[in-house]
A = this chain, B = another copy of it.
Amino acid sequence: MGKKIGRSTVKFGSPVCISNAASIVGPKEGEGPLSEYFDKILGDELVGQGSWEQAESKIVNDTVNLLLQKSGLSTKDIDYVFAGDLLNQTAGSTFGFRGIDINYFGIYGACSSFGEGLGLGAMVIDGGFANRVIVSASSHFGSAEKQFRLPMEAGSQRPPTSSWTVTGDGCALLDKGGHGPFITSVTTGRIIDMGIKDQNNMGAAMAPAASDTIYTHLKDLGVTADYYDLIITGDLGYIGIELLIKLLGEKGIGINKKISDCGIKIFDRDKQDTHNGGSGCACSAVTFSGYLFELLKGKSLNKILLVPTGALLSPTSVLQNETIPSIAHAVAIENL
């Protein structure tokens, strides 16, 4: 049985296997550097639906069914799902799972949701309450722009600090048994707020949360950053990563040789014009479920710390001149 170590970390007694993963992404993500790793690249971001929101739910539904199909499992074989997204009332997930007959836990951690789901899913399995859990996180460029920013039809100019919401869904299958890779520990974040108010600079808003969680993770486990082959945040982008390296450096922790970011990996900086990089719940979810999972399976990576990052703002809080509280969850995934 696992146990809590230090302030915020759970170390699993029996590491929890990630036995499979599935990813579906939009056309732009399919033109990026990780193209070959995704299960399916959509030709059309609307997927035949009448709205961006309905398209996102369709992508969620398709990705879960794809994961079940790839794994040779049916809904009866899955004990629980943890699912989250950015839409109001997490409608991407709730409508995506409508008609899918699995016990359902809705989560909200903005773009940290995939990390929150992996952590809770692993606890539920290691705690003895489940054999198999699915974790899903989705986002959609169209639905996110419409909800958080301006109608796409307005053709507004995007500030250089802004990032590009990833269209897609990433699903991971957690399993009591299996050959790995394994979730060995998770560090749960606190809400951190350094007073940033610019919703077009979420990398800066989230960097302090990522710094706090990575620092706590290393301290709780008594390891250095060198323990990992790769420490990869969710969607800090170029600006956030620079700040993260600085913040951890001030605490005496050098990570610049180990660090990367899913938002940096998923788009080509020179050719794809996404400014600060990719973002959204799907950013870490598809980068993990496509790219990182393959590298771990192929043993070209053996120890990674995945740190999905979330900016906990709402369109209403922005209009009310509020700050952007942020959070990050760290998930250690290793071949054993």
A107 CB contact (under 8 Å) in B7, B8, B107, B193: B107
B188 & A105 in contact (Cβ 8 Å cutoff): yes
* A306 contacts partner chain B, Cβ-Cβ < 8 Å: no
Among A1, A103, A105, residue most surrounded by chain B Cβ atoms (within 10 Å)? A103
Q: Quick one: given A99-B193, A103-B189, are A91 and B127 in contact (CB under 8 Å)?
A: no
Task: Give the CA-CA distance A13 to B128 in the complex, in Å.
Answer: 10
Contacts of A107 in B (CB 8 A): 105-108
Among A79, A105, A130, residue most surrounded by chain B Cβ atoms (within 10 Å)? A105
Contacts of A51 in B (CB 8 A): 320
Contacts of A127 in B (CB 8 A): 1-2, 123-124, 126-129
Contacts of A25 in B (CB 8 A): none
Contacts of A99 in B (CB 8 A): 191, 193
B116 & A188 in contact (Cβ 8 Å cutoff): no
* A316 contacts partner chain B, Cβ-Cβ < 8 Å: yes
* A17 contacts partner chain B, Cβ-Cβ < 8 Å: no
Contacts of A208 in B (CB 8 A): none
A116 & B120 in contact (Cβ 8 Å cutoff): no
A129 & B10 in contact (Cβ 8 Å cutoff): yes
Report the minimal beta-carbon distance from A82 to chain B, rounded to whole angstroms: 9
Contacts of A116 in B (CB 8 A): 105-106
A189 CB contact (under 8 Å) in B7, B88, B104, B109: B104
Contacts of A129 in B (CB 8 A): 2-4, 10, 123, 127
Contacts of A315 in B (CB 8 A): 88
B4 & A314 in contact (Cβ 8 Å cutoff): no
* A142 contacts partner chain B, Cβ-Cβ < 8 Å: no
A94 CB contact (under 8 Å) in B84, B101, B126, B325: B325
A191 & B314 in contact (Cβ 8 Å cutoff): no
* A90 contacts partner chain B, Cβ-Cβ < 8 Å: yes
Q: List 9 A-B contacts (CB under 8 A).
A: A3-B128, A88-B316, A89-B313, A94-B312, A95-B325, A100-B191, A102-B190, A106-B108, A106-B327
* Beyond known contacts A95-B322, A105-B107: 17 more, CB 8 A cutoff: A2-B128, A3-B128, A7-B103, A10-B129, A53-B317, A87-B314, A90-B108, A91-B313, A94-B312, A94-B325, A98-B323, A99-B191, A101-B190, A103-B190, A105-B109, A107-B107, A107-B108
